[in-house]
Amino acid sequence: MSSSSGLTFKLHPLVIVNISDHYTRLMAQAAATGSAGIPPPLRVFGCVIGVQAGRNVEIFNSFELKHDAATDSLDRPFLETKQEQYKKVFPKYDVLGWYSIGADIRESDMVIHKALMDINESPVYLLLNPAINPARKELPLSIYESELHVIDGVPSLIFVKASYTIETVEAERISVDHVAHIKPSDGSSAATQLAAHLTGMHSAIKMLHSRIKVLHHLLAAIQKGDAPPEHALLRQVSSLVRRLPAIDSPKFQDDFLMEYNDTLLMTYLATITKCSNTMNEFVEKFTTAYDKQSRRGGRTVFV
């Protein structure tokens, strides 16, 4: 069941990295202390923090929580302490909800969810599936909201799935690239920020080009009568085409020229640095050869 609240969720990659790191460290510790060598399935818990402005919810960061397996509850004093510490550093951030790991929602999750409603009346629940599925292209992360539904005449609070988008800034992109240890295809370890950024831009442009080609072939087939017209799709294409002249504005031209000039400047600086290094090596070799020749020709012979 999908959410009907109309909230827009924006998730930053730092939250995904934190949850994955939390689960990986816990599994590594369990494997190191376990006698059988195979750690039991463990769950991690934590809170997500961010900013909610109107109907826009942006999740920036997260922190870990202590969980009591005997009572299946969170350590509230520890949660309040962490919340106060984050408020001192990030006064605009609020506790928006909590996270855990698992393939599906458990019955005990609603108990923890209700326990956090005194901090946030409508918390969100992030569920990360740690199982690796190579065939799955999307992120194994789901965001759930809680809604009150009447089931068999009884009002009950249930989880409903909400859609989200990944929001990132340049600093986060650089950090994620370093954490992921992205390396170029030739196997060398000199992976730079510029190379990783340009590779991502190239992949995005290549994907956009392939999708535009699909739309072009479909419109050509509709025009020739080989495919039936889909009016909903045609309206979306028409709306997209009308938005194209919007990028032809002075602000767009200024931003484009600034990015273009920055790229040219970085390329120019790299060329100058390479030329300077080459000249420096040439001067050192020439000086060494000249000194040897001077010492050889400057010897005095007595008869």
Question: What pLDDT is attached to residue 125?
Answer: 92
Question: Residue-wise over 200-238: b if at least 16 C-beta within 10 A, else e?
Answer: eeeeeeeeeeeeeeeeeebeeeeeeeeeeeeeeeeeeee
pLDDT digits (tens, 9 = 90+) for 262-275: 888 888 888 888 88
Domain ranges of the chain: 8-170, 171-281
Hey, which residues does 99 pair with through a beta bridge?
Answer: 46, 126
Structure letter (DSSP) for residue 247: G
Q: Please, are residues 81 and 66 in contact by the beta-carbon 8 Å criterion? A: no
Per-residue pLDDT of the chain (303 residues; tens, 9 = 90+): 666 677 889 998 888 888 988 888 888 877 766 644 444 557 889 999 999 888 889 998 899 988 877 777 788 888 888 888 888 888 889 899 999 988 888 888 888 888 888 888 889 999 988 887 767 767 888 899 888 887 777 788 888 888 888 888 776 776 666 655 544 445 444 455 566 777 788 888 999 899 889 889 989 998 888 888 888 888 888 888 877 766 667 777 888 888 888 888 888 888 888 888 889 888 888 888 777 666 665 554 444
Nearest to 19, CA basis, from 40, 42, 48: 48
* CATH architecture under which domain 8-170 falls: 3-Layer(aba) Sandwich (3.40)
For residue 130, what are its two tokens?
């740690």
Q: Please, are residues 96 and 59 in contact by the beta-carbon 8 Å criterion? A: yes
pLDDT digits (tens, 9 = 90+) for 25-50: 888 877 766 644 444 557 889 999 99
pLDDT digits (tens, 9 = 90+) for 138-154: 788 889 988 888 777 77
* Beta strands in 140-198, from DSSP E residues, in sequence order: 141-151, 154-162, 164-166
Neighbour count for residue 41 (Cβ, 10 Å): 10
- The reported pTM is 0.55
